Amino acid sequence: MAGGSALDMAAFVSALPAVGGRPLAAADGRRCVAGGGVHAASAAAAAGGVPRRARGVSMVAASKGPAGGPKSDAPSRKPVINDDYTSVPTERIRNLSIIAHIDHGKSTLADRLIQATDAVGSRDMKEQLLDNMDLERERGITIKLQAVRLNYVHPADGLLYAINLIDTPGHVDFSYEVSRSLMACEGALLVVDATQGVEAQTLANTYIAMENNLEIIPVINKIDMHSAEPDRVIREVEEVVGIDCSNAVLASAKAGIGIEEILSNIVEFIPPPQEKATESLRALIFDSAYDAYRGVIVYFRVMDGVIKKGSKVRFMATGRDFEVDEIGVLSPRMVPVSELSCGEVGYLVAGIKTVEDARVGDTITNVRLPATEALPGYEEAKPMVFSGVFPSDASQFNALKDALQKLKLNDAALSFEAENSSAMGFGFRCGFLGLLHLDVVQERLEREYDLDIITTAPSVVYRVKPTKGDAYLVDNPADLPDPNRREYIEEPYVRLEVITPEEFVGPIMELSQSRRGEFVDMRFLVQGRTTLVYDLPLAELVTDFFDCIKSRSKGYASMEYTLSGYRKNKLVKMDVCVNGELIEPLSCILHEDNAYDIGKDLTKKLKEIIPRAQFKIPIQAMIGARVVASSTISALRTDVLAKCYGGDISRKRKLLDKQKKGKKRLRAFGKVNMPQEAFMAIVAVDRSGPSTRN
């Protein structure tokens, strides 16, 4: 809980009405590790040079595996059933996830495990095999969870074991994927980089695994590196994370060290799925993807009973029935089988056409013998940051709607609803888990659906108490009532924990304070590392905070945050007028004390971004009718007198008048070109000015 004035977030949110039917944002007590901001933006820029795909290529067809969507066989080709995959009894099945802090080597380790068990022929093997979205490969990050089935003969008993491995993303924006995959498992490999040690996400993900009662096997990775300190890291895992490291494996995913030991430990320490006495089928949907030919492909883990090809199944949340056309395992290619029983992880195809029919977290049961109770589903992912998404060309509105619907199927945390803005036309107000999530969605819409879109300035969700009536949530500054029609505004706060080497404690404290942070605690860890705890407004964190932490600590610090509640602050709405016109999508809510500095930097940035025109373009940052900062883009002056040699002054005046009129007309009717960067300028403004006080 953040300080005395913070409310309990969950209780508070449940007592409030939803914003326009949208799930209330930023309301759970979920642990997150931040990232995004400029880092994400620059990653996007780096990826921007990649050629676009042809129009109409679906996200599934565009990628090659189960997460971005499985590679579809041509519709005419009959699936070949291979029941070798289902001959393994339940006691020889192991379901596990790989969890770690970002870049500690999960995907590389998954590659080595796939190779060691010959799941993929050497011809098809490539680095980070499970990161099969183009975007994942380019950015070197995992965005979607990925499942793969490994067949492993354990040398100790010579028996065949089926290991279902789920690779999970490391970045906070995708941490809901981690919780989803962990619910389908009995164990987890906790990968810790031997050169770095325990990081914020190591802790956060281990806690999720512990909450799910998973057996955890620590893997100390990258021991091939000179700077590796495996002994120190083992001590740190034991002392800081609090888990036993007696079965820890010293490994190098890159050099292939310790891989056999990891496989052996998986078999020995991770328990098999528990056979249930019930005959009724219950399978948990942990992911789904859309395929242009086959409809929705559903990924599930069978918890009870058996699921068979040709049987009729029911999706319990929606009550819809479907006949199973195909079921199979992920090897990691889709291999059809005739049935999957308790403990197995696989996919099914059942001619499901709509997004709503296959919800992640739903339970699949048998129509003939339905289960009475559904499995506990997943907590709905709650968006933290909202932004308007508009097509550059109004005629693409329906295409954008269709694309968002398909993306949502594969990305449960994305939320959207139609929005009509006088400045931007028809579009959608979308909710994201953070700026990296926003960035990934924007890029997927552009690449996989060939859409040109503009995203507007991101905003967190504020709570507003109007003079009349109950408080309500506002995720779009345009919806804020006038100051004389509101009593107060509250903003969301987070409890922030930064783990850093001692020498960077000072710069990080300075940064946190400049972002309106309130110091809560400082704890010393082993080996000169420190945890700093602050309460901080979420709005200050979702911009470039993560990048600032990284740059001030030379990349050594990591951070994690939990939403803690709402607090009243002196908040105001700042509008931006460009060329005398209010540009609503540039409006933002900020602390009154920061308005001058932020306004000054924003107008300066916009001056650099907005292209010059034939006339002067004034840019003003305003609070109500008061201008707090301004700048002017000078006109590109055309010399209309160039052709007027000497002579008559009245002719010159006539030409100048005509030019002035032209400028006026342009100002009156013409539009200032606002490029996409202009809408994101607020994210990049310098927030560490001298007047940043609470």
Q: Which residues are known binding-site members for GTP?
A: 100-107, 167-171, 221-224
Q: How many angstroms separate the CA atoms of 600 and 585, rounded?
A: 18
CB 51 within 8 A of CB 562: no
C-beta closer to ligand GTP: residue 254 or 486: 254
Q: How many angstroms separate the CA atoms of 159 and 678, rounded?
A: 61
C-beta closer to ligand GTP: residue 194 or 478: 194
Report, in Å, the least distance between residue 105 CB and ligand GTP. Answer: 3
Bridge partners of 589? 573
C-beta closer to ligand GTP: residue 252 or 579: 252
Structure-token pair, residue 653: 């005046």
Report, in Å, the least distance between residue 254 CB and ligand GTP. Answer: 3
End-to-end CA distance of the chain: 19
Q: Which stretch binds ligand GTP (CB under 6 A): 99-107, 288-296, 424-432, 648-656?
A: 99-107
48 burial via Cβ count (<10 Å: 0-12, 13-18, 19+): exposed
C-beta closer to ligand GTP: residue 6 or 203: 203
Among 12, 57, 79, 103, interactor with ligand GTP by CB under 6 A: 103
C-beta closer to ligand GTP: residue 146 or 288: 146
Give the annotated binding-site residues.
100-107, 167-171, 221-224
Rule CB under 6 A: which of 155-194 touch ligand GTP? 169-170
Angular region, 69: left φ>0, alpha ψ -120 to 50, beta rest: left
253 binds ligand GTP (CB under 6 A): yes
Report, in Å, the least distance between residue 51 CB and ligand GTP. Answer: 24
C-alpha dist (Å) from residue 557 to 96, 197, 335, 417, 503: 29, 11, 43, 37, 11
C-alpha dist (Å) from residue 443 to 136, 435, 536: 12, 12, 29
Q: How many angstroms separate the CA atoms of 18 and 193, rounded?
A: 42
Report, in Å, the least distance between residue 460 CB and ligand GTP. Answer: 25
140 binds ligand GTP (CB under 6 A): yes
Q: How many angstroms separate the CA atoms of 641 and 649, rounded?
A: 11
- Residue number of the CB closest to ligand GTP reads 170
Report, in Å, the least distance between residue 171 CB and ligand GTP. Answer: 6
C-beta closer to ligand GTP: residue 100 or 348: 100
65 binds ligand GTP (CB under 6 A): no
Q: How many angstroms separate the CA atoms of 80 and 69, rounded?
A: 20
Q: How many angstroms separate the CA atoms of 557 and 540, rounded?
A: 18
Among 128, 151, 421, 531, interactor with ligand GTP by CB under 6 A: 128
C-beta closer to ligand GTP: residue 172 or 302: 172
Q: How many angstroms separate the CA atoms of 431 and 386, rounded?
A: 4
Q: How many angstroms separate the CA atoms of 252 and 262, rounded?
A: 11
Report long-range pairs for 551-557 (Cβ below 8 Å, ≥24 apart).
Answer: 552/504, 552/507, 552/508, 552/511, 553/500, 553/501, 553/504, 553/507, 553/508, 554/504, 556/500, 556/501, 556/504, 557/498, 557/499, 557/500, 557/501, 557/504, 557/508
Cα–Cα–Cα angle for 628, 682, 577, nearest 5°? 45
Q: Which stretch binds ligand GTP (CB under 6 A): 219-227, 516-524, 585-593, 594-602?
A: 219-227
C-beta closer to ligand GTP: residue 123 or 226: 226
C-beta closer to ligand GTP: residue 44 or 682: 44
Structure-token pair, residue 669: 């009717």
C-beta closer to ligand GTP: residue 113 or 628: 113
C-beta closer to ligand GTP: residue 43 or 471: 43
252 binds ligand GTP (CB under 6 A): yes
Q: Binding string, 372-391, against ligand GTP, x = CB under 6 A? A: --------------------
Residue type at 589 in one-letter notation? I
Report, in Å, the least distance between residue 63 CB and ligand GTP. Answer: 16
Report, in Å, the least distance between residue 294 CB and ligand GTP. Answer: 28
The distance of Cα 560 from the centroid of its chain, to the nearest Å, equals 15
Q: CA nearest 663: which of 631, 630, 638?
A: 638
Report, in Å, the least distance between residue 409 CB and ligand GTP. Answer: 22
C-beta closer to ligand GTP: residue 108 or 455: 108
- DSSP H helices, 543-594, are 545-552
Report, in Å, the least distance between residue 181 CB and ligand GTP. Answer: 13
Among 86, 107, 117, 196, interactor with ligand GTP by CB under 6 A: 107
Report, in Å, the least distance between residue 260 CB and ligand GTP. Answer: 15
Q: Binding string, 221-250, against ligand GTP, x = CB under 6 A? A: xx-xx-------------------------
Report, in Å, the least distance between residue 139 CB and ligand GTP. Answer: 8
Longest dimension (CA), the chain: 106
CB 678 within 8 A of CB 606: yes
Among 104, 309, 437, 444, interactor with ligand GTP by CB under 6 A: 104
105 binds ligand GTP (CB under 6 A): yes
Number of residues that bind ligand GTP (CB under 6 A): 21
> Which H/E stretch holds residue 48?
none
What DSSP state is assigned to residue 471? -
C-beta closer to ligand GTP: residue 168 or 500: 168
100 binds ligand GTP (CB under 6 A): yes
Q: How many angstroms separate the CA atoms of 511 and 225, rounded?
A: 32
Report, in Å, the least distance between residue 286 CB and ligand GTP. Answer: 18
C-beta closer to ligand GTP: residue 478 or 557: 557
Q: Which stretch binds ligand GTP (CB under 6 A): 140-148, 500-508, 538-546, 682-690?
A: 140-148
Q: Which stretch binds ligand GTP (CB under 6 A): 114-122, 134-142, 640-648, 662-670?
A: 134-142
Among 142, 396, 500, 603, interactor with ligand GTP by CB under 6 A: 142
108 binds ligand GTP (CB under 6 A): yes
Q: How many angstroms separate the CA atoms of 217 and 303, rounded?
A: 23
Report, in Å, the least distance between residue 499 CB and ligand GTP. Answer: 17
Q: How many angstroms separate the CA atoms of 429 and 424, rounded?
A: 12
Number of neighbours of residue 138 by Cβ within 10 angstroms: 15
Residue type at 635 in one-letter notation? A
526 binds ligand GTP (CB under 6 A): no
Report, in Å, the least distance between residue 65 CB and ligand GTP. Answer: 15
Which residues are at the interface with ligand GTP (CB under 6 A)?
A: 100, 102-108, 128, 140-142, 169-170, 221-222, 224-225, 252-254
